[in-house]
Amino acid sequence: DAKTTQPPSMDCAEGRAANLPCNHSTISGNEYVYWYRQIHSQGPQYIIHGLKNNETNEMASLIITEDRKSSTLILPHATLRDTAVYYCIVSHRGRDDKIIFGKGTRLHILP
Amino acid sequence: DTAVSQTPKYLVTQMGNDKSIKCEQNLGHDTMYWYKQDSKKFLKIMFSYNNKELIINETVPNRFSPKSPDKAHLNLHINSLELGDSAVYFCASSQVGAGEQFFGPGTRLTVL
């Protein structure tokens, strides 16, 4: 079972920042937080990951709370192409470790 | 350049047949995976291979047999196909120990 909790769906206006929350209250000290998204009918796409510091890349920013029990993925200027299911995943980084996809958040970007 | 490719994209077949799906990655990764996404859209890992060695083998019927001829390829052979095997199958790759996996476009398998 996935070890994260996400809202099933969210709406965001085009051009605004989309903030997607994730709860992972049972995360262990050496587990990373990963975010992926799946645009309709495509393979999942890796977005970003972090351990305890906030991270930013060309796609998004990841804000992890100090206690690491929750995080927020921020898409700074959402476009229609960001409409997708977003998955928050916690996982170790070992050879035997796997990422477990939950139900994710279906993000609708509204024109 | 396609990083992770799968063939075929669509596969329609009859119950009881045997079929294969091929996957190739040109990212130089040493770990490859197979996932199944059913009609309810749940994405579940089936297998992972690291340098041709089977690492993860989830509870998958033994009708499913992955084969890795080299670390750039991971094929999935399915024997005696059943209706419940209908799904989209995704291949992925990563560097060992990295959770950043790169997925292929998927193969939609329909068993009639």
The helix (run of H) or strand (run of E) holding residue B65 is strand B64-70
Q: Residues of B with CB below 8 A from A99's CB? A: 45, 99, 101
Report the residue of chain A nearest B33, measured CA to CA.
A98
pLDDT at B35: 95
Chain A interface, best mutation among B43, B48, B93, B102, by max A CB count within 10 A: B43
pLDDT above 90 for B98: no
Q: What is the mean pLDDT of chain A?
A: 93
Mean pLDDT of A85-105: 89
pLDDT above 90 for A29: no
| Secondary structure of residue B83 in the 3-state scheme | helix
Q: What is the pLDDT of residues B18-74, one digit of tens each?
A: 999 999 999 999 999 999 999 888 899 999 888 888 888 887 899 999 999 998 999
pLDDT above 70 for A1: no
Return the number of CB contacts < 8 Å for A and B: 52
* E-only strand ranges, A1-111: 9-13, 18-23, 32-38, 45-50, 55-56, 61-64, 70-75, 84-91, 105-110
Q: Residues of B with CB below 8 A from A42's CB? A: 105-106
Chain B, residues 57-86, CB within 8 A of chain A, namely none
Mean pLDDT of A62-85: 96
Cα of A110 to nearest chain B Cα, Å: 23
Half-sphere exposure of A44 (CA within 13 A, CB side): 38
pLDDT at B1: 65
Half-sphere exposure of A67 (CA within 13 A, CB side): 6
Q: Residues of A with CB below 8 A from B50's CB? A: 95
